[in-house]
Amino acid sequence: MANDVLVIAGMHRSGTSLITHWLHDCGLQVGENLVGAGTGNVEGHFEDEGFFQLHQQILVDKGAHPDGLGPPETMTPTRQEQAQMHALITARNASFQQWGWKEPRTCLFLDTYSALLPEAKYLVLLRDYQEVVHSLLKRDFSLLDNKYRGKSWPHRTAWKYFYRAMRLEQHRRKHRDRYLKAWLAYNQMILKTLRALPEDRYLVVSYQSMQSECAEVFSFLSSHWPFKLQYKQFSSVYRKELISRKADVAPAAVSPELLDQAQQLDASLQSYLQRSRQRLAELAILR
């Protein structure tokens, strides 16, 4: 009997940790050793350590930063790396009849995973490029903020009233284009994969509507798809205070060419999101 595998795919800061936390609580095996909590994900990342470490190593071997936010132009893993990916999948299949994983860098290697897992299902999380860039900037700057909060009173005061605003603007100008390029790279690969997959093997969900659509998504996974899960309220993992609000992060400092690419790519992805919403609505009518 073939294993039931769910690939949870999405750019960093697109809600993949949150929805994977929920699916974990619903009974989906998402890894025995999970990456712990950290800045920006105080509830935990819910990432399988095996996939996390392998993806980081592949990026390092290609001369890229392991965070995946400056992906290399050529992202095809070597034969040895593909063998390691295959070994991970074989080990999970041997241990679990149904399982899945979430690790944002997975998006960069979807071509390889599509070949290694020809029957896998894909749950894709989309988030507006402005919100993703804003969230990444906010997360990274908070590390510097926290560093100064731990210093003596004179240093804290100087930081708060004289230096913080200037450093924040410098941080934004330095990283906006880089993070937007990363959003493009991840979502271009997602779009390429969606175009190649049969419609019955993917479901696209919006970051903004996860809370309102969780019951429909659960029904889709457990009735239209074969995953055996036990329903848990999404509110049990959803914490509104941790959700970044939409912010305008597309001023003139950002490359107009990159913005144009992001808007075109977003429009293409929205068509897949709308079709998935129609399928959820059709399923709700049939229930």
pLDDT in tens, 125-137: 999 999 999 889 9
Give me the pLDDT at residue 104, please: 96
Chain CA centroid to CA 72, Å? 18
The pLDDT tens digits of the residues spanning 169-216 come to: 888 888 889 999 999 999 999 999 999 999 999 999 998 888 888 889
Longest CA–CA separation in the chain, Å: 66
H or E element: which one contains 34? none
Q: Could you tell me if residue 101 is left (phi over 0), alpha (psi between -120 and 50 degrees) or otherwise beta? A: beta
Average pLDDT score over residue span 116-124:
97
Q: What is the pLDDT of residues 75-96, one digit of tens each?
A: 899 999 999 999 999 999 999 9
Residues paired with 125 in a beta bridge: 205
- CA–CA separation, 170 and 163 (whole Å): 11
What is the pTM (predicted TM-score) of this model?
A: 0.89
pLDDT at 223 over 50: yes
- Domain holding 258, by residue range, is 4-286
Tally of domains in the chain:
1
pLDDT, tens only, 11-55: 999 999 999 999 999 999 999 888 765 554 545 578 999 999 999
CATH of the domain at 223: 3.40.50
Q: Is the pLDDT of residue 276 over 60?
A: yes
CA distance 196 to 202: 11
Q: For 157-173, what is each residue's pLDDT tens digit?
A: 877 888 788 888 888 88
The string of DSSP codes covering 118-147 is: TT-EEEEEE--HHHHHHHHHHHHHHHHHHH
- The CA distances from residue 33 to 29, 60, 83, 196, 270, in Å, are 11, 22, 21, 31, 34
d(Cα 141, Cα 135) in Å, to the nearest integer? 10
Give the pLDDT score at 145.
Answer: 78
- Band of pLDDT at residue 139, cut at 50, 70 and 90: confident
- CA distance linking residue 91 with residue 51, whole number of Å: 12
Per-residue pLDDT, 286: 63
